A and B are shown apart, each in its own frame.
Chain A
Amino acid sequence: MTKNSLLKGLVGAALLFGATISAHAADTLAAVKAAGTLKVGTETAFAPFDFIDAGKHVGLNVDLFDEIGKELGVKIEWVTLPWDGVFPALEAGKFDVVAGPATITKKRMERYRFTPPLAEATIAILKKAGDKTISKPEDIAGKKIGVGKATAQLDQLKEFSETLPTKVDIREYPAFTESYADLAAGRIAGVANSLPNIAFVAKQREGTFEVVLPPFGKKSYFGFIGLKDADHAPLMDAIDAAMLKIKADGRMATLQKKWFGASFDTPDAVKDPAF
């Protein structure tokens, strides 16, 4: 291996990186309809939105996208990746939309387009059942708290930590399920995640976990995510319209009740997120 050929190789790789050729079909909606399938990217470690139950991919997202698929007249094909790989893959065109869902934040809105919200995303703490040292959110000061890597919940937890006398010892996990496992094993004192998620986990594992109420920080919402460019606009418009229709005729509330135990109001669009 000479220096020269190494250099050439590196230059070649750099050129490939730079080449963000937009060779995709101009109108993604037309392409999706022609193919008859909408490809949806997600991770499967975010109960109750997406998770594995005895080896099967289930959750609110699966049910909701089934309805969206019916509205659009297409089948849904799932691509599941680790969460920190989902956004790069969306930009690489590996799928048309991300289920996630993701907390609607200012930073993300600059780069991506969100669907109408499908749930509240305000953050709360999950603790081990019977842990008397944590009775309100402020009690996590100085404690080990788990949270997902590259998530909006991490940002919200950091912001909350700044307001406490002793900072929170934040532990970042590749997926939330791993943080729940560590909480169950007693390696951390709590997990910070959005209220619908931890309420579901606490309900699934009654006697193991408890939710610390109230949620803290600013009110935020979950939405699905797509690309902002003109190619994707018709597709995202169609998904938005389908979701609003599903919300208007009560199917959304039914699904929320099925997966969260309660339905709740969400705005039709989030224009100015709190984060």
Chain B
Amino acid sequence: MSIELFGLLVQASIYTVTISFVSIFIGFAIAILISGMLLTGRSLFVRPAQFFISFFRGVPLLVQLLLIYNLLPAVGLNVPSIVAAIIGLSLCTAAYQAENLRGGFASVPLGLVESAEMVGLTPRQIFRRIKVPIALRLTFPALVNEAILILKASSLVSVVGIVELTRMAQDLAGSTFLPLQIFASAGLIYLVINWVVALAGGLIESRLPGVAR
């Protein structure tokens, strides 16, 4: 396999990385909103949040992408492929991240909250200084995990017309008849990307407060 073919795979992986990271950050912002709705405990907010999570966790990402791509034009929103891909990945990862955040907040030890109340902290201070740091700390490993999952799941966005790493590998394998070398290279590139993400995640995690070293 030539350097030129490998270069094309690396170029395509830029799409993979860009779409994945943009989606993870947008997804995180939506997840904060959704988990916030869950935390209010009011059914007016909780019910839609629960529906959001059930829908985007319950429907396969492939179906979501095809729905977004083919359904939005019916309501007058004809978005380009790349936007459809980012919407699909963002909403899907938001559902998982919201559940992670909810789990994080639920795992904040009650004793800590009670102690904070004893020393006279207001509910708002308790939320900001006790609950948020602990919940974020507890959900961080799951967030890194989610980033890796989305990087791999991004191979599905080829169904809406984006030539990312997997699709480029398929195209090249089809035109060069070198499937083994090309898919091995694509696998290697995914491995390197995810290894970097895991490494960076580990570094950040070790700097978070309250970590046993």
Interface residues of A (CB under 8 A from B): 1-2, 5-6, 8-9, 16-17, 19-21, 23, 44-45, 47, 51-55, 79-82, 85, 88-89, 91-94, 175, 177-178, 180-181, 184-185, 205, 208
**Which of B55, B78, B160, B172 interacts with A52 by CB under 8 Å?**
B172
CB distance from B185 to the nearest CB of A (A): 13
**Which of B66, B69, B73, B179 interacts with A181 by CB under 8 Å?**
B179
CB distance from A194 to the nearest CB of B (A): 17
Interface size class of B (residues with CB under 8 A): 35 or more
Which residues from B are CB-within-8-Å of A44? 171
The contact sample of 29 A-B pairs, CB cut-off 8 A, is A1-B51, A2-B50, A6-B51, A9-B51, A9-B54, A16-B75, A19-B74, A19-B75, A20-B74, A21-B76, A51-B174, A54-B8, A55-B5, A81-B160, A85-B159, A88-B66, A88-B70, A89-B69, A91-B70, A94-B70, A94-B73, A177-B171, A177-B173, A177-B175, A180-B174, A180-B177, A181-B179, A205-B177, A208-B177
Q: Is B47 an interface residue when CB atoms closer than 8 A count as contact?
A: yes
Q: How many contacts A-B (CB < 8 Å)?
A: 101
Chain B residue nearest to A4 (CB atoms) is B47
Q: Is B161 an interface residue when CB atoms closer than 8 A count as contact?
A: yes
Which residues from A are CB-within-8-Å of B34? none
Interface of B is mostly: helix
Q: Is B168 an interface residue when CB atoms closer than 8 A count as contact?
A: yes
Task: Provide the bound-state CA to CA distance between A8 and B66, in Å.
Answer: 22
Given contacts A23-B76, A44-B171, A81-B161, contact A5 B70 (CB under 8 A): no
CB distance from B204 to the nearest CB of A (A): 33
Q: Is B121 an interface residue when CB atoms closer than 8 A count as contact?
A: no
Q: Is B191 an interface residue when CB atoms closer than 8 A count as contact?
A: no
Q: Is B22 an interface residue when CB atoms closer than 8 A count as contact?
A: no
CB distance from A21 to the nearest CB of B (A): 6
Given contacts A85-B66, A94-B69, contact A79 B175 (CB under 8 A): no
B81 and A79: CB pair below 8 A?
yes
Which residues from A are CB-within-8-Å of B51? 1, 5-6, 8-9
B66 and A80: CB pair below 8 A?
no
Q: Is B92 an interface residue when CB atoms closer than 8 A count as contact?
A: no
Please give me the 10 A-B residue pairs with the lowest Cβ-Cβ distance, nearest first.
Answer: A177-B174, A55-B8, A52-B171, A23-B76, A92-B70, A1-B54, A92-B73, A93-B73, A81-B161, A5-B51
